[in-house]
Every structure is written in structure tokens, then in C-alpha cells.
Amino acid sequence: MRVTVLGAGYMGSAMAKVAAQRGHAVTLWGTWLDNALLDVVLEGKPHPRLGLALTDLRLCRAEELPEALCNAELVIHAVSSEGAVAVMTRAAPYLPDVPVLSVTKGFLANADGQMDRIDRVIPEVLGRAVRFVHAAGPAKAVEIARGVLTLMVFAGADAIACRDALAGGNLRVAVTDDIAGAEIASALKNAYATGLGLWDGLGHVSGAHNARAACFAQSIHEMCQLACAGGGRAETIYGAAGVGDLHVTAAAGRNRAFGERVGKGKPARDVAAEMLASGELTEGYAAIATAWRFAREHHVDRLPLLEVLHQVVWEDVAASEALARLDLL
């Protein structure tokens, strides 16, 4: 099978490596922001972020998008949510009618200016159907690339075809028709993982494990409310797409680290700017804002933890002050 991966960052490169291991002919296309990454890989050196060599792949730069998509039988969309519209708009004239497996997580603004799922916004922007399948679940890119046991959940009409193309070895894939629940879970988990990181900052001296665990349970409760309001099912949140992904994101990674630094008393905007300057994308910063908008637009009012997160990250309320008055469940 001919597989084209859009986006040469962490996840795109990891999924390209998986596809190559499954025996497919893989093209890895980098956006205009990925040139430095591709330069290193083209020199035969390990990928700067994954720390692994990318062999048996065809590499394409931004201007080679038509060639990258030519005759593709499966497209893996691994561009950040912020770049999804720009990339897919450029890709539209060359995009074949094949499944598009999206590992991108987040909400986008639809034509009415409201927060919506990526699988709904992109077809609206392009003015054509796109066969989106969303890839959810606890799947850190570096571990996928290194062959660590990983369970992903593919959601959508073409989920089985995508599973059959990519599952194998240490990558296990479950399928569901609940693309709404899976995509909303993915959009929310970075926001709530940031919140759990706040406790790591507040309790860095003597610990705050009880509080962190309580807020993990609260996070799942609120994610269920939001997923159901958006047309998803609670069972999806209670599985790998929700509980599993929140667990791994809150255990390690940039969003947890972002929350920890804010919990120690530094303004969120300053932490986000510092992390961006050092090449660390902090999805949780924007995810809290978009999740709050999604909640308001869907009239979900009883979300005490998300409300506190929004106060701390976007309204400059001290984390210790906001979390002290948190009303759980």
C-alpha cells in the first residue's frame, strides 16, 4: 500500500516508521515548518525529536505536496491542529478519495465561529467530503517509534481499513464508530493533563497525590459530560481514548510540565512563551481556552475543574487560590 504522512514532527514521523514496518511504501511530507527536521534526516542522521533513524521512507519537502500525495492509498494527517486548515487547504487539489487517518488533537472554529471537531471543520473548509478516521488513545510518539506496546483507538467509517493497514507487532488497535467521543476526548485530554500538572507544582515539596487523584476522577467526569454534549458516548471516555490517554499525558510530557511550572507560581503566558521558544509545543495552553468555549457553546455548566483551569491559565488567578475553592463532582 502507498501511504503518505503529512507532517514530519513527532507523531507523523513515528507513524511513518510504523507504516514502513508494516511493509508499505511510505512518503513522509514535511510542512514549511519542518525543513530543519528534514535536513537532518536527509543527511542520514537520526530524527532530531525522535532520536531514531528514519529508513525506507521517501522524504518530501513542503513544495513537493502534489508529488507526495500522488497515488496515495492511505493518508495519515499528523499536522498540529493550528496548521490543519492551512495544510489541508493546500492538499485539497491533490488529495485522493482515500481514508485520512488523523492523529491531530484539538478543536477548530467552524464557519459559525464555534468550536467543533476537526473531522467536521476540514470538509466544511474544503467544500468536499474527507474520509476522516480519528486515532485516539495513549500513544506517545517516541514509544510507538521504539516499538513499545501501545493501544490506539481508530474511530470512523474507515477505521477497520486503517487498523488492517497499520496494526501489528507492538501496536494494537481497537476500532469504534464513536468518532465524536474519540475526537472530543483527544481534544480535552491536554487541557485536563495540564490541570493535573498544577498539583505537581503545588505539591513539589511534600506531595499532593491525593488531590491529583481526586482531580483525575473529576477530569473523567467532566470529559464525559462534554463528550456526550457533543454527540459522543461515555463508554469512549472510560476506555483507552479517554482514561488511557489522560493517564499517559498526565504522567509525562509537555502539557504536564507546563501545568507544573504554572503550579509553582509562574504566569501561564510566560511559561507558554518560554516553552515555545525552546521548541516545546504546549497544546494544553490553547486546549483549556478551546475546551472552555466548547463547554459554553454546548451549555455544559457544571464543570468546576475546567472553570478553575481557565481561571488559572487565562485569567491570571493564582493556582493555590483557585484550587483551594475547587468543588469536586
Cα separation of 97 and 130, whole Å?
Answer: 7
- DSSP secondary structure string for all residues of 16-60: HHHHHHTT-EEEEE--TT-HHHHHHHHTTPPPTTT-S---SEEEE
Contact 88, 124 (CB under 8 A): no
The dihedral formed by the CA atoms of 118, 124, 126 and 127, expressed in degrees to the nearest 10: 150
Gap between the Cα atoms of 209 and 243, Å rounded: 18
**8 Å CB contact between 104 and 80:** yes
Active site residue 189: yes
| Alpha-carbon span 9 to 31, nearest angstrom | 9
What type of residue sits at position 299?
A: H
Residue tagged active-site, from 105, 189, 264, 266: 189
Distance between CA atoms of 135 and 141, rounded to whole angstroms?
Answer: 12
DSSP-derived 3-state class of residue 267: coil
Cβ pair 37, 30 in contact under 8 A = yes
Q: Coil, strand or helix: which one is 132?
A: strand
Active-site annotation, residues: 189
